[in-house]
Amino acid sequence: MSDEGSAFSILAEVMGWYHLLDRHHFTEQISEGWVGLPDPDEFYNSIIDILNEPHQDTLTTLLSEAKEMYTTIAATKLLQKIDDLKEQLCYAYTCKFFTAAHTSSQRVEGINASLKGRGKLKKCFSGATYAEMVSRISHKERVWNRDALKELERCIQNGMMTGERVIKEITANALLALNISSVDATDIPTIFTVKESENSTRFSTVNTNAEVTFNGIVFDCIMVCDCSMYTSSKLICPCICRVCQHMNVDFKNPKHIHPRYWIVFHPLYVQALKNLDMSDNKHAPWVGKYEPPIEEEGATAGQNTLKTGENGIVKLRTSIFHELGDFDNHSPAKRVTLLRDLSQTCFP
């Protein structure tokens, strides 16, 4: 997922990836389309409705109505651009792909903003060497990892199985679930159909006891839904929240949440346990299915050699910034040598 830069689309094509466009960047262009319109707010809301519409047939209708309503040159140009890029931009199409509910990678965007010096990239880096640029990047990476590690430690100390923002997002979805009035059971006790109202023609199917495979491990008791929100985020959606309210079940119980959001799978989880000097996680819902990686005996310093128990998973975490270590303390000549050696290792 990126902006409209040609380099990203070329890279995606070469790598065989599906290129999605970041709606956050695109919404900034709406102001260019309302030039000459009597009601800019109405135009803005119309574009947002088009971008967020989850159904393709309704999206087509909204686009047609907007083209008839807004006929200025700027508005027509923007609407045609949306129509041409709808499969990469509009939620009705992008919801088929897992994006963790992001419209952009906030972490990467934050690092980019820091690297660019808040709009002063050329000024900051015009006289910098390659080694100095990598040094700045590695510093920012360490700062972000430090903050993530602190959050993990806080979650572990508070007995949380998922991150703080996951719970906030699920709580927000629970409020949206109040707009859903129809929950019907099926012949299978764990499967329900959910509609916004009794007269609605669209419905979603919720399974309250599904099996999910993640990192090669099969987990049961996971709640899943076929709605667009769950498909794109794998988070407990309003449909699941409504079924749980109907069944009087706690939808915040981590054993029902997709394991992708369990903190135990975070790359820094083991380090957080070490920092807290904690190894007892018998209270966790993944007991018997996951054992935290341990360092392999006989491994030399700097090697990423991790192994797990019989039912564990191997976490391959190769990071050039981790290998750089105290990059700032090396002389310029040593930095160049270190970078060359690491580059040959990573890019043979």
Interval 252-289: pLDDT, tens = 888 889 988 888 888 888 888 878 765 445 444 444 44
CB atoms within 10 A of CB 127: 7
- Asked if pLDDT for residue 338 goes beyond 90, the answer is no
Measure the CA–CA gap between 237 and 223, rounded to whole angstroms. 10
- Asked if pLDDT for residue 315 goes beyond 50, the answer is no
Q: In degrees to the nearest 10, what's the CA dihedral of 321, 322, 326, 328?
A: 10
pLDDT band at 343 (very low <50, low <70, confident <90, very high): low
pLDDT band at 123 (very low <50, low <70, confident <90, very high): low
Measure the CA–CA gap between 251 and 256, rounded to whole angstroms. 7
| Res 243: pLDDT | 93
| Res 333: pLDDT | 65
| Res 318: pLDDT | 35
| Res 206: pLDDT | 94
| Res 153: pLDDT | 87
- Asked if pLDDT for residue 203 goes beyond 60, the answer is yes
- Asked if pLDDT for residue 230 goes beyond 70, the answer is yes
Higher pLDDT, 239 or 112: 239
**pTM of the model as a whole:** 0.62
| Res 286: pLDDT | 43
How many alpha carbons lie under 13 Å from residue 13 in its C-beta half-sphere?
Answer: 5
pLDDT band at 90 (very low <50, low <70, confident <90, very high): confident
| Res 345: pLDDT | 46
Q: Give the lowest-confidence range in 44-48, 91-95, 295-299.
A: 295-299
pLDDT band at 296 (very low <50, low <70, confident <90, very high): very low
In whole numbers, what is the pLDDT of the chain averaged over residues?
75
Q: In the numeric block, which tokens belong to residue 191?
A: 């499967």
- Asked if pLDDT for residue 207 goes beyond 90, the answer is yes
Task: Answer yes or no: are the C-beta atoms of 188 and 205 closer than 8 Å.
Answer: no
Q: Could you tell me which of 63, 57, 61, 58 has the C-alpha nearest to residue 85? A: 63
Task: Answer yes or no: are the C-beta atoms of 142 and 200 closer than 8 Å.
Answer: no
Percentage of residues in the chain having pLDDT higher than 90: 13
Could you give phi then psi for residue 195, rounded to 5 degrees? Answer: -130, 150
| Res 102: pLDDT | 58
- Please name the residue that has the structure tokens 């109202």: 197
Contacts of 57-62 spanning 24+ positions with Cβ under 8 A: 58/92, 59/86, 59/90, 59/92
| Res 336: pLDDT | 62
- Asked if pLDDT for residue 61 goes beyond 60, the answer is yes
Q: In the numeric block, which tokens belong to residue 258?
A: 């997709």
Q: Could you tell me which of 34, 22, 29 has the C-alpha nearest to residue 90? A: 22
| Res 193: pLDDT | 93
φ/ψ bin of 159: left (φ > 0), alpha (ψ from -120 to 50), beta (otherwise): left
Interval 176-185: pLDDT, tens = 898 888 899 9
- Asked if pLDDT for residue 100 goes beyond 80, the answer is no
Best mean pLDDT range from 102-116, 121-135, 136-150, 270-284: 136-150
Q: Could you tell me which of 312, 308, 300, 346 has the C-alpha nearest to residue 216? A: 312
φ/ψ bin of 215: left (φ > 0), alpha (ψ from -120 to 50), beta (otherwise): left
